[in-house]
A and B are shown apart, each in its own frame.
Chain A
Amino acid sequence: VVLCSVCSCGVQKPVDYEALQSRLRSVLQVHTCEYVYKDISYLAESEKFLWMIPTADRKLLYSVKVRVRAGLDVSKGLHVRPLGSNADRQQASGQQQSRGTKSIEVILPPPCVLLVDADEASIHQYFSEEYGGRMNVSVWQSELEKVKARIAADAVKRGILVKAEANAHTLIKALLGAAGFDDVRFVQSEDVPASSAPVPGVKP
């Protein structure tokens, strides 16, 4: 033991792979558009005892980048329905056969905001005045949550969902085009209306 501790050749703690695997969860999300915002927040807190004796005076100024990602949550259902080739259809309806174009219908969930996340690595703290102790984590984090909700709303207003849907169509068209379907038609599934799609990280 002494030799091992001197030589630092101790035995590494074994990795509990089963416990780690239990933390894995399946998701099926196609992220197709990202907007990045910069939030600059100023927070101040002061406390006075008997309305006149200052006991705390905290001031905080920091900035952080917030990214909003939108796309499709495919776990809500993505289905395809081959419509056959137009040659088949023309033949069936007795028309003269032309060059075949295979068609497929894609039933997609509506695009939604998949992520609103403050990037911790981008935090820049300009100053923190700490008379009477530092500011509690809940104070600035709850303000950040409010800012995130505003940002998500702004991203939707700026058309992130429209752009995300267009990019998702591009991707699916490429995949099905490579599979031989030249004509891809998109239909939005009725199950989940876009307006009710949850925004992760933002309380309704």
Chain B
Amino acid sequence: MNTEKTTEPSLPPERRHLFRTGLLVKLGFIGGFVLLVAGILIGVAAARGGLPGFSLFEKHQVAESSVVFENMRDLFVFDTVEYVETVVFPFDFMPEGMSGASILGRVSSANPQFNLASDVLKLASDPKAGLLPEERLYLKALQIANDAGLRFASPQREFVPVTVVVRAGFDVSGTPFAQGYEKEPAEKHKPLGDYFKTETIQPGQTGRLGGTRAVLRLPPLTITDIRIEDKAATPGPDVPLTPAGWKIISALVASDAKSRASNAGIIDEARKNAESFLRGLLLEAGFDEVRFE
């Protein structure tokens, strides 16, 4: 009577040993593979913030900086207004219904001398190319986004919100106000008279009983500063972008903001605020009337 178990094939003992070993190896591989897949999934989940404190990815960061004091300077700048704008680069420079291909196609047929592969920035700033201001900006933004390595096209859709601050007021650095005031000798404070005079108001003049009038000539009101906020404005994605890329994006945003701040009437507003502040101060100082020339 054959009493041999039928669960294993009837093999010679040495083959049976090999069969069992092979089975164990296969099971080991399957188990290892399952563990590896699980590990990858856990690692990816942890990398995406799913499992705090655990990751199969080891991260190491080094940050070192050396700061050197370079120079100092005296300033005599009075800022009275600021223009603040946050732009989404590059999409704010790419109006709907406009496409780079159509602009370049149109311009290349009219200007065959341009090498569109390398001259996009040149083309964008050449008045002979016959582009509208928005089209120029579009091309500049397109080129700069590419140079900065920003993958703004679908599906990545990378963008950077940038906040720009334009300030206006007056700078008296080159005027006698920066030299201070000394009563004696009179030559020392004479130049101040070009900017500030006092007059006696005759009784009856402008309906007043009399008094003193301050007459001021303000130095030219100008844009005193344009700066980009150093941190990308929030909310915004954390995009791969180096300082060199940030530099060229900032330059475009800053140059474009200057014209928009001017259109917003920043200089007029700066004058209004400066006059209002000085008028208040001089009335408080005892003048009866303040006039700006």
Give Cα A42 to B67, complex, Å.
Answer: 12
B178 within 8 A of A: yes
Give Cα A35 to B73, complex, Å.
Answer: 7
- CB-contact partner of B77 in A20, A31, A55, A123, under 8 A: A31
A interface residue count range (under 10 / 10 to 19 / 20 to 34 / 35 or more): 35 or more
Which B residues lie within 8 Å of A64 (CB)?
A: 243
Give Cα A127 to B285, complex, Å.
Answer: 58
Give Cα A17 to B79, complex, Å.
Answer: 22
A117 with B260: CB separation less than 8 A: no
- CB-contact partner of B281 in A47, A50, A78, under 8 A: A78
A21-29, A87-95, A190-198 - interface stretch: A21-29
B84 within 8 A of A: yes
Give Cα A201 to B228, complex, Å.
Answer: 11
A187 within 8 A of B: no
Question: Main SS of chain B's interface residues?
Answer: mixed
- CB-contact partner of A47 in B57, B81, B277, under 8 A: B57
- Known A36-B72, A120-B251, A176-B285; judge A136-B189 contact (CB<8 A): no
Which B residues lie within 8 Å of A154 (CB)?
A: 67, 69
A137 with B238: CB separation less than 8 A: yes
Which B residues lie within 8 Å of A97 (CB)?
A: none
A135 with B242: CB separation less than 8 A: yes
A12 within 8 A of B: yes
A residues 135-192 near B (Cβ < 8 Å) are 135-145, 147-148, 150-151, 154, 158, 160, 163, 167, 170-171, 173-182, 184
Give Cα A29 to B39, complex, Å.
Answer: 58
Which A residues lie within 8 Å of B132 (CB)?
A: 8, 10, 12
> Which residue of chain A has its CB nearest to the CB of B36?
A50
Give Cα A139 to B243, complex, Å.
Answer: 11
Which A residues lie within 8 Å of B176 (CB)?
A: 174
Q: Mark B101-127, 1 if CB is under 8 A from A, else 0.
A: 000001100100000000000000000
Give 13 pairs: A residue, B residue, CB < 8 Å, sorted on A. Answer: A7-B130, A8-B131, A8-B132, A24-B265, A31-B78, A40-B66, A46-B60, A55-B57, A81-B284, A171-B178, A177-B181, A178-B193, A201-B230
Chain A interface (Cβ within 8 Å of chain B)? 5-8, 10, 12-13, 15, 17, 20-21, 23-51, 55, 60, 62, 64-66, 69, 71, 74, 78-82, 104, 115, 117-121, 123, 125, 128, 133-145, 147-148, 150-151, 154, 158, 160, 163, 167, 170-171, 173-182, 184, 201
